[in-house]
A and B are shown apart, each in its own frame.
Chain A
Amino acid sequence: MARRENAEINAGSMADIAFLLLIFFLVTTTMDVDSGIARKLPEKTDVQSDVIVKEKNVLDIVVNRNNQLLVENEYVKVTDVKRLAMKFIDNGGGLGTPIDDKPGEPCDYCGGERDPNSSDHPTKAIISLQSDRGTSYGMYISIQNEIEAAYNELRNQLSKKLYGRSYDELLGDYKDNPSKSLQEKIDNLKDKYPQIITEPEPIK
């Protein structure tokens, strides 16, 4: 019994090794989560379909290279865009898009002023954003953000009315627990207030 069998392995350097690895991962880590404004580009088609859109169903937003903004030919600030867009989308002054040969119906969920000179129906309301090639990207994003905010707020309002929960909360719920009924609710809200944004050729 003079010699001990299996001498214990010295674990004293374990901490050093772990520290080394730790420092390596610390250095290579980037913690930032990539987030942004999601957009779907329109598909390119060869067929040019002539769709006639009434002037009153289009909200013209024009921004020039000095980052100045015109909405329906009136000079406004970026912070006004959301209010104007909401007013325009939610107007509901006429009939909606006909689906499957059924005639369009008036918007029964809109809270707008029903001004006959503004948009007919949220499903018909088009937002047109024309920018200049020299407009700064920050401005462009700000406007996109305001438009997105307008749609989100309208969906939130409707969602509160229909389901007692806001659209954002529904999306959060869906992420945690994707169920069919939630999917239907979200799709319904998206159908009620579809995002129709068009970006014509920039001003040269």
Chain B
Amino acid sequence: MSKFKKKKKGLPAISTASLPDIVFMLLFFFMVSTTMRETDLLIKKPALPVASEVKKLELKSLVSTIYIGKSKDTRISGDKIQVNDKIVEVKDIPSFIFSERALRKEDEVKFMTTSIKADKEASVGTILDIKEQLRDINALKISFSTAKGNDLSINYK
């Protein structure tokens, strides 16, 4: 009869043995989907315009990004341009692209894309100046970074 008296009283503790497995699974997911944050923005985070005909940027490692936006200090007007970790002038753009090219293999250079992340309040003049600089040094593939959406009216209020 002693066999039957062994029954435990109360609820058994929930096994946490599989907890590490679950956590590891999450961990791997985030490891795979992670891209490290490369630059800290020195300018105000650009509010990207919305567009419906967007293409995804392929080959992330070959993308060099130019940020254009307002200064964090609200007293300073005009557009500020940031590349890597510093604020630069339009005329410094070519040297930035050259330094980006130097980091890549020679045969990859022609696939390099310049992504322009500009605030929707920025003026087209700045963008056109940058485009002109990029043309000068034959960095012809560009992408105007936008958010995806169908309501374009928020772009020009």
Contacts and interface: CB of A to CB of B under 8 A. Distances in A.
B82 interface: no
Interface stretch (B2-10, B19-27, B100-108): B19-27
A149 B52 contact: yes
B127 interface: yes
A140 interface: yes
Interface string A151-176: 01000000000000000000000000
B37 to A, nearest CB: 6
Contacts of B156: 67, 78, 136, 138-139, 142
A74 interface: no
A79 to B, nearest CB: 8
Nearest to B51: A145
Contacts of B51: 36-37, 141-142, 144-145, 148
Contact of A136 (B30, B122, B139): B122
A39 to B, nearest CB: 5
A25 B27 contact: yes
Given A133-B124, A137-B124, A36 B57 contact: yes
B135 A44 contact: yes
Contact of A18 (B20, B49, B125, B152): B20
Contacts, number: 165
A15 B19 CA distance: 7
Contacts of A42: 135, 140
A47 to B, nearest CB: 15
Q: Classify chain B: how many residues form its interface, as a range.
A: 35 or more
A29 B30 contact: yes
A133 B128 contact: yes
Given A36-B51, A43-B140, A133-B128, A30 B35 contact: yes
A11 B54 contact: no
Given A15-B20, A35-B54, A37-B144, A138 B135 contact: no
6 contacts: A14-B20, A15-B23, A25-B34, A30-B34, A41-B139, A199-B128
> Which 8 interchain pairs have the tightest Cβ spacing?
A133-B125, A138-B120, A138-B155, A25-B30, A36-B145, A148-B53, A145-B51, A36-B143
Given A134-B124, A137-B124, 16 more contacts: A11-B20, A22-B27, A29-B35, A35-B55, A35-B145, A35-B146, A37-B54, A38-B55, A38-B141, A40-B140, A133-B128, A136-B122, A137-B119, A138-B121, A145-B51, A199-B128
